[in-house]
Amino acid sequence: MERTSVSDMREWYCDRSYHRISNDRAVHLLRVNYGDQCNQSLGFSIAAALGATGTARTMALYASARSMALAVASAVPFLTGSTEWLQAMAWSMIIVQACDAVIGTTIKDRMKTFGPAGTALLNLVALIWLSQTVP
């Protein structure tokens, strides 16, 4: 049986505490960011559904249904504390933001290109940070 010194235990505890603090910050950043993005997307799609007619309304209703699913799914990490679920939601929102940036490029709108692209990049950085701090 191996003896563990007090300094070894202190080093292990401090190392674990550092990872927990870093992990908590990354988790908080991702939770707030994704919850906000999902709810914002849901709000825009509902507004579009209420203001549109014909085919545009049908498309807006489909967008609302998908935004509602993402909004509900984004609540799961808050309710369960699941880091894995948070990472899955992070990837899904990075993909959504990257697609939004492509759409912004297609319609030649700089704000609709660089805003989502920047958000996707920051989310990717936060996701990498979280992945590195999860023990």
How confident is the model over 55-109, as pLDDT tens digits?
Answer: 988 888 888 888 888 888 888 888 888 888 888 988 998 998 999 999 999 999 9
**Confidence (pLDDT) at 135:** 64
Q: For the whole model, what pTM was predicted?
A: 0.65
**Angstrom distance (rounded) from CA 95 to CA 106:** 17
**Angstrom distance (rounded) from CA 112 to CA 25:** 28
9: amino acid identity, one letter: M
